[in-house]
Amino acid sequence: MDHSQLVANIRHKRSVLCVGLDTDISKIPRHLLNVEDPVFAFNKAIIDATKDYTVAYKINTAFYEAQGIPGWVSLSKTLDYIPKDIFTIADAKRGDIGNTAEQYARTFFYTYPFDSVTVAPYMGSDSVQPFLQFTGKWAIVLGLTSNAGSADFQLQDCGDELLYEKVLRTVAEWGNAHNLMFVIGATRQEELRHVRSLLPDHFFLVPGVGTQGGDVDTVCANAMNKDAGILINVSRGIIYAGAGEDFTALAGKAAKQYQQQMSAYL
């Protein structure tokens, strides 16, 4: 999905919601454990309940890789089921170089045809550039994250700037606003505004809303640009809104509430 298609869908749905399918088999409703593929059955129901309110789905590959071959089967079936007009993210956080990076790019752009994949930039340009060679595909590079450990490196001085600022500025030169996004944590109000000033045109994938303490209004007020420019990820707050037979209705209700908040800014 290219930049114009993503922006058009955001404006059509009046939403920047990304639903995180971080599906933990130990947390899905018990009645689904009796079906052939409980993870896919859960994801399918969540997608049906939320697809009218979301513009992106993020599949955290760790939850599927942990299940071995059956997990990859569930991932593939889930990806195939997502409507083709909704942006897809492989949250895989790959970060290697050379031929290895090229194979990771092929994995998530060809074998499993996601629109985008999250990438760790620690090894430099040759760990990111292989993901930027595919038309209509995106690398979503870790920039400023919302976890407590982010201070260990990201907020350390690096000459006359912080390390995360150097990463954002440098990586932005390797691609453009049509094939690069950045992960920017939602719990940092002042940093959201600052990062937007550093990168006025790029999209941000913004985790941390809901369970981690971030909120929609703060993100939209401080990080939106003329094209919206953000995808706000919510995982547990939607997919685990309910644990019983009515889990789909509660997930849909939660997604709609987020969409309605977002619509005021679009």
Other CB atoms within 10 A of residue 227 CB: 16
Q: Which of 77, 93, 253, 256 does the annotation list as catalytic?
A: 93
Helix axes 189-198, 216-223, angle to 10 degrees: 30
At 152, list the tokens: 């260990």
Annotation marks residue 77 as catalytic: no
Whether 37 contacts 243, CB under 8 Å: no
- Phi, psi angle pair for 257, to nearest 5°: -65, -45
- 225 has which bridge partners? 228
Type of residue found at 103: Q
Which DSSP string do the residues of 174-232 spell out, in sequence order? Answer: TS-TTTEEEEE-TT-HHHHHHHHHH-SSSEEEE--BSTTSB-HHHHHHHH-BTTB-EEE
For the chain, the farthest-separated pair of C-alpha atoms sits apart, in whole angstroms, at: 58
Active-site positions? 93
